[in-house]
Structure formats: structure tokens, C-alpha cells
Amino acid sequence: MTALIVAGTDTGVGKTLFSAGLTAALGAAYWKPVQSGLEDETDSEVVARLSGVTPLPETYRLQLPASPHLSAEADGVEIDPDALTLPEVDGPLVVEGAGGLMVPLNRRTYYLDLIARWKAPVILVARTQLGTINHTTLSLMALQGAGCPVIGVAFSGEAEPLVEETIKQMSDVPHLGRLDPIAEVTPKSLAQAFEAIDMNRIRGAL
């Protein structure tokens, strides 16, 4: 089993769409360890619909759509990082984080701490919008400082070649491609958009 961690620079940057495309492209298992917010379609449900894969069950399913530590506190529980060991599966495993790297799981532990404990390669998903140079560079510095192996950055949004090249050059990190905005997200349209992603480099990390 080889795990790939899909992390993001922030909430809503496209981690779930990327995870769904990656899961389908690899024929991988998928796991979202902590789900915050249950009123709308969950990330696992989105991935199941778009990839055709039955996700592994979340370890924590929390009602409030908020930071995991606040969602857990609202439900009267505390997230235990020791309960979030990577599950054993046959073949590759795509693991999707929650929010950004410095999102707290509890009052003592960031998501980054958990990713560092896993020691699995990380793909960072980043927007192409204004502010992404700062957010992406800080996220990469945090990953590298924690000793996390980074496969590269995958962008999401309209093309911003100068911005994307700046991040690649200054952070010395591979550019894994970019997912264009998709007007109607279906398994077919996501698979077509995912053709822009450098799967050879990703498979090389397995």
C-alpha cells in the first residue's frame, strides 16, 4: 500500500475534485479521515460519485461545518491523532486532508503534525487566484520544515502562467499541472480535465 496525501493551501481550493480525479486515474482507494459538516454532500460522497470508488469510512464524522477541532468540540468529542493511522489497503490510497495544513485537529495538534507522522508523499493543491503565491509558498515551507516529502503542486482555476511559474521557480517544486474550471462536473468532464495533470510524476512517487 502506498498512500498519497492531498493537502490544500486553504478551504475550497479544489482538493476534493483533485482527489476524485486522482482516485479514478489511479484506481485507488480513498479516505477522508475527518469530515466536518454533514448537511450537504460530504467529500467522500463527492469522490464516490465522480470516481466510482467506494470510499473508506471516515474516522470522525462531525456535524458542524467548521475547523475540525471546533466541530469536534461542538459534538462533545476530541479528535485523537492516534486513531488516524493510515488504513491498510491493496494498491494506492488517496488521503484527503481538511482545509489548510495549519487547521487544528484538537487544541494541541495541527493537521500538518498528522501528515508529518504519516511520512507519505504530499500533493499540494493551490488556487491560481490573487494571493496564491503567499499561501502556496507558506504551505510548502511548512511541509518542508516538517520533513514531509512533496511530489509537487497542482493548481486549480484559470491559467496564471506567470504566477504558477513563480511558485515553481522560487519554491523549487514540480508543477503537476492545472485543473481548468469545469462548468458541469461529471466523471467524464473531470477525467478530461485531469488529462492536464502529470500522472507520470505522480505514479513515480508510488
Calpha distance 81→104 (Å, rounded): 11
Q: Pairing relation of β-strands 29-31 and 92-100?
A: parallel
Calpha distance 33→97 (Å, rounded): 7
Closest CA to 150 of 180, 181, 112: 112
Task: Single out the catalytic residue among 15, 32, 168, 188.
Answer: 32
32 tagged catalytic: yes
Could you tell me if 126 and 167 are in contact, meaning their C-beta atoms sit under 8 angstroms apart? yes
Strand order in the sheet with 92-100: 29-31, 92-100, 2-8, 122-127, 150-156, 175-179
Catalytic residues: 32
